[in-house]
Structure 1
């Protein structure tokens, strides 16, 4: 049990450089390319996914946003989705289960939103600190609460993704380690449970990528 989290350690070193993090860009090899005169089915699916995400993000951000803003969040969604799915394969390092990656993406996003909002729309940012309909006696407390909730946003974004990725992988590891001591009948139940858990983890990989990108979009919509 003391070595339980060792499966998440980036331990592959070549020339004192951890090569596990190279799994972060493994999705680039799966991006469909235009080899054909007419689009392939993969390209059509890819374009439909990007268009669907663009329409949804555009609705959340609003019409006052800059053109091309949704491309940032579509790119984040695709990157997170690929990394979450790649981590489900054996011997592939799950980079999104580490705060070093999730926090380094969430913090610059949140910082850029805050700087843009406070520099260009200062009055609008102040109005967000006091929700509409707040009693005068609670205004000072609401400013404090809203400020704290705003400050912890990058941390909650990073922890939410990393914790969900670690939880599923850890449960699969614990179930897999008990296989040596089980009988044949219990082994079949264990395999069935692992298959069901892997299906759940596939859904979690997609949902967590969507949650990360949709929350980033909502945070950016507050600065306009």
Structure 2
């Protein structure tokens, strides 16, 4: 990935030490919850998540580089932001909460475009990411003001350029981004023309949250 200017800095957003993630069985039904900060290790259980892909009106995609202090994939370029819905939390609320925490802004529009993406990836040190959840297309209401706890740098890039860099081995992205982008590619060349995913295609805990 070509170098990018440092991301704008703002005050770090503190994360709750007892934030819970939703644990899932292999049919993606909720089987309980666990503290987020204790759940990512060599035997990370399957849990609920989402990945978000922010675009502007000209189909530029917002790539972000994970903070160097992150416990998983530090310093790796990835999608715009990610998150874990809390128990009983709707997808929209989860996306808005994480958008504010990571990028310091709000959404003008958001739509799930992939109902579920399942992935498992292992870092060199053995830490496992083991998640399933939707991919969400987002239009930001204001420019991003990222939290240094979450994001080290950011880069707006034409969507077509992202695909070209992947095809030609010019970029290294997080494993979940590479997997998800290949599925997004199949939806067509224009991100704003991608159809909205049906609620029935979301993991069960997100279909009818409390």
| TM-score range relative to shorter protein | under 0.3
Which protein has the larger Cα radius of gyration, Structure 1 or Structure 2?
1
More helix by share: 1
TM-score (norm 2): 0.24
Normalising by structure 1, we get a TM-score of 0.23
